[in-house]
Copies of this chain bind each other. A is one copy, B any other.
């Protein structure tokens, strides 16, 4: 790594006036001369507008409380002076930071990246900034981050598929003490608001699709043990298969929900005698796809593969992956809305009014090239 210190020549064009002395006297309104917008305080605005600081404050933060004429005048003056409220001072007295916080296991995981994008967009639309923390898949660190960052934000959104329930319990209490709303993504928990994906319906759609294509023996490559969404999807799988004649679901086991996990799962698919496999998520499915190809198993001619989430990479491979589309950006936006709602409910209502809500995000199967009609089989059951 080379270090390249660039041109030692200072700007030659305009002369930037840098004040060499620090003025520490009482507010000497730096507004005379275009010295910059730095340090324009509310008092400056008030003075320039000929009103008291209190009125100036109200004119900007609670316009309804001030007479229309004055209000507009103050706002005009503030604009001219380039006034920008000091967030620290405001926070110090209101207790609100104007920031939200998002904790995810891995920013590079396209699933969380999409959620983060949605969260960020909605937060900004509401005039809030977003602190993002990556826990590096470490539940312990997640808890620490929530506790740490929770102190400097108005609300926390936590994506923590694998944090033990007990830790969650504790976090919930801490957060209640600190009066900072905590929202869970893709994981419900008693007493906490959450936004979750409809796992059972997604699985149902996937199974129905495969069944319609003639598949009767379907493998499931599961996610990590202890993952809430995995247990949900297993449940959905059972439920869905109950309604269909002659179907058999083969549990291929638990796998890390990444590409590498899919490679391992791929071998079990090949060995399991199934004609189709549903993976816990797309990364896993892509790994399976890759492994099957390497072993010379044709997809979808010999085996059909279905993923979950519909991450961008699902369309980059060939055959493109049939998968369950999860509106991740919407999930993120909804999370913010619900969090805000929880926050304002907390201040409006007495101690604990209504329990925090939980929102279910609908999903939709999108059929691509990785699924096809089941290969002819030695039929084993009579019709």
Binding site for B on A (CB under 8 A): 1-11, 16, 18, 20, 36-38, 84, 86-89, 91-92, 97, 99, 106-108, 110, 113-114, 116-117, 120-121, 124, 129-134, 136, 149, 151-152, 173, 176-179, 188, 190-191, 198, 259, 286, 290, 293-294, 312-313, 315-318, 351-352, 354-362
Partner of A88, one of B88, B116, B315: B88
Contacts A84-B151, A152-B129 given; indicate if A360 touches B3 (C-beta within 8 A). Answer: yes
Partner of A176, one of B16, B121, B132, B358: B16
Q: Can you pick out 11 interface pairs between chain A and chain B where the beta carbons lie within 8 Å of each other? A: A1-B359, A2-B362, A7-B355, A37-B177, A84-B151, A88-B89, A89-B92, A108-B114, A108-B117, A120-B132, A129-B133
Look across to chain B and name the residue whose beta carbon is closest to the beta carbon of A114. Answer: B108
Chain B residues whose C-beta falls within 8 Å of the C-beta of A198 in the assembled complex: 2
Chain B residues whose C-beta falls within 8 Å of the C-beta of A133 in the assembled complex: 120, 124, 129-130
Chain B residues whose C-beta falls within 8 Å of the C-beta of A286 in the assembled complex: 316
Report which residue of A293, A313, A352 has the largest number of chain B beta carbons within 10 angstroms of its beta carbon: A313
Q: B134 near A132 (CB under 8 angstroms)?
A: no
Least Cβ distance of A370 to chain B in Å? 14
Q: Which A-B residue pairs are the 5 nearest by beta carbons?
A: A88-B91, A88-B92, A132-B132, A36-B177, A18-B351
- Identical chains in the assembly: 2
Q: A316 near B317 (CB under 8 angstroms)?
A: yes
Chain B residues whose C-beta falls within 8 Å of the C-beta of A88 in the assembled complex: 88-89, 91-92, 97
In the bound complex, what is the Cα–Cα distance between A293 and B173 (angstroms)?
55
Q: A38 near B177 (CB under 8 angstroms)?
A: yes
Contacts A151-B84, A286-B316 given; indicate if A359 touches B108 (C-beta within 8 A). Answer: no
Look across to chain B and name the residue whose beta carbon is closest to the beta carbon of A293. Answer: B318
In the bound complex, what is the Cα–Cα distance between A107 and B290 (angstroms)?
26
Look across to chain B and name the residue whose beta carbon is closest to the beta carbon of A193. Answer: B6
Contacts A133-B124, A134-B120 given; indicate if A4 touches B113 (C-beta within 8 A). Answer: no
Partner of A151, one of B87, B357, B358: B87
Partner of A107, one of B9, B37, B113: B113
Q: A360 near B1 (CB under 8 angstroms)?
A: yes
Least Cβ distance of A299 to chain B in Å? 12
Q: A131 near B134 (CB under 8 angstroms)?
A: no
In the bound complex, what is the Cα–Cα distance between A134 and B312 (angstroms)?
17
Report which residue of A88, A120, A129 has the largest number of chain B beta carbons within 10 angstroms of its beta carbon: A88
Chain B residues whose C-beta falls within 8 Å of the C-beta of A318 in the assembled complex: 290, 293-294
Least Cβ distance of A294 to chain B in Å? 8
Q: A8 near B355 (CB under 8 angstroms)?
A: yes
Look across to chain B and name the residue whose beta carbon is closest to the beta carbon of A123. Answer: B133
Q: B190 near A87 (CB under 8 angstroms)?
A: no
Chain B residues whose C-beta falls within 8 Å of the C-beta of A355 in the assembled complex: 5-10
Q: A361 near B1 (CB under 8 angstroms)?
A: yes
Contacts A113-B113, A290-B318 given; indicate if A191 touches B11 (C-beta within 8 A). Answer: yes
Chain B residues whose C-beta falls within 8 Å of the C-beta of A294 in the assembled complex: 318
Q: B110 near A108 (CB under 8 angstroms)?
A: yes
Contacts A1-B359, A1-B361, A92-B89 given; indicate if A188 touches B6 (C-beta within 8 A). Answer: yes
